[in-house]
């Protein structure tokens, strides 16, 4: 592993660790149904899956030679993830009376964070994978069709959804996408299936 990779691994892990701390700090309020709702619980679970997938991807790129642009793309992704988690469960989350009302206030920022992460991943994929001939065009097309396009469409739908029912549909679709991608990653990389 190169010194740049070690530095990046440390920086990303620290930032994502702060995001996990935020989520765990707010968990008691999120899982109190008098203060929360099914939509907010789904958002919290999705944020946890988001971080888990990000941490898993960190452990699978040791062979790559990263440059300064790669470094910034990864740090920006981790920063957006932290911002998303900090908005959902801020430092004063124990003082939030209703997480449902709180989510309604921050929902646009939440969905914009997903759009930002999606764009960031697309840039990283194009710059690191395609430009450096690590990923074939066929795998790249599959990645866009299965991950990027659905993620972007659901995020745009969530950003524009005004009612609680439409938000529930949007967060449920996003959770389904994350579960699908997590299951696919598990099946692809698990020693149980090899």
Between 111 and 142, name the one with better pLDDT.
111
Confidence of residue 128 (pLDDT cuts 50, 70, 90): confident
pLDDT for the residue numbered 129 = 60
Long-range contacts (CB closer than 8 Å, 24 or more residues apart) made by 176-184: 177/147, 177/150, 177/151, 178/46, 178/49, 178/50, 178/53, 179/49, 181/53, 181/146, 181/147, 182/49, 182/52, 182/53, 184/146
pLDDT for the residue numbered 125 = 83
DSSP letters for 160-177: H--SHHHHHHHHHHHHHH
Residue 113 to residue 80: CA distance in whole angstroms:
6
Contact 47, 80 (CB under 8 A): no
Closest CA to 102 of 114, 90, 112, 117: 90
Contact 173, 114 (CB under 8 A): no
Condensed to tens digits (0 to 9), the pLDDT of residues 114-125 reads 999 999 999 888
Task: Indicate the SS3 state at residue 72.
Answer: helix
Residues 6+ positions from 116 with CB-CB distance below 8 Å: 80
Quote the tokens at residue 135.
């990923």
Confidence of residue 101 (pLDDT cuts 50, 70, 90): very high
Contact 46, 175 (CB under 8 A): yes
The four Cα atoms 149, 155, 160, 165 give a dihedral, to 10 degrees, of 110
Chain position carrying tokens 């699908």: 180
Closest CA to 103 of 78, 77, 117, 84: 84
Q: Using a cut of 0.95, tell me whether the model's pTM lies above it.
A: no
pLDDT for the residue numbered 184 = 78
DSSP letters for 18-56: HHHHHHHHHHHHHT-TTT--HHHHHHHHHHHHHHHHHHH
Condensed to tens digits (0 to 9), the pLDDT of residues 83-100 reads 999 999 999 998 999 999
């Amino acid at each position: 592993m190169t010194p740049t990779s070690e530095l990046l691994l440390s920086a990303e892990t620290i930032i994502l660790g702060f995001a996990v701390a935020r989520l765990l700090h707010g968990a008691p309020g999120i899982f109190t149904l008098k203060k929360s709702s099914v939509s907010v619980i789904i958002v919290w679970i999705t944020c946890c899956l988001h971080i888990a997938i990000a941490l898993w991807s960190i452990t699978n790129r040791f062979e790559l030679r990263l440059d300064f642009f790669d470094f910034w793309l990864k740090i920006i992704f981790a920063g957006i993830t932290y911002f998303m988690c900090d908005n959902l469960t801020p430092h004063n989350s124990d003082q939030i009376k209703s997480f449902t009302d709180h989510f309604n206030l921050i929902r646009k920022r939440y969905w914009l964070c997903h759009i930002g992460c999606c764009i960031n991943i697309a840039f990283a994929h194009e710059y690191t994978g395609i430009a450096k001939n690590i990923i074939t065009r066929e795998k790249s097309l599959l990645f866009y069709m299965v991950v990027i396009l659905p993620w972007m469409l659901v995020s745009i739908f969530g950003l524009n959804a005004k009612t609680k029912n439409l938000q529930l549909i949007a967060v449920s679709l996003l959770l389904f996408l994350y579960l699908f991608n997590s299951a696919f990653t598990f099946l692809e990389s698990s020693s149980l299936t090899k």
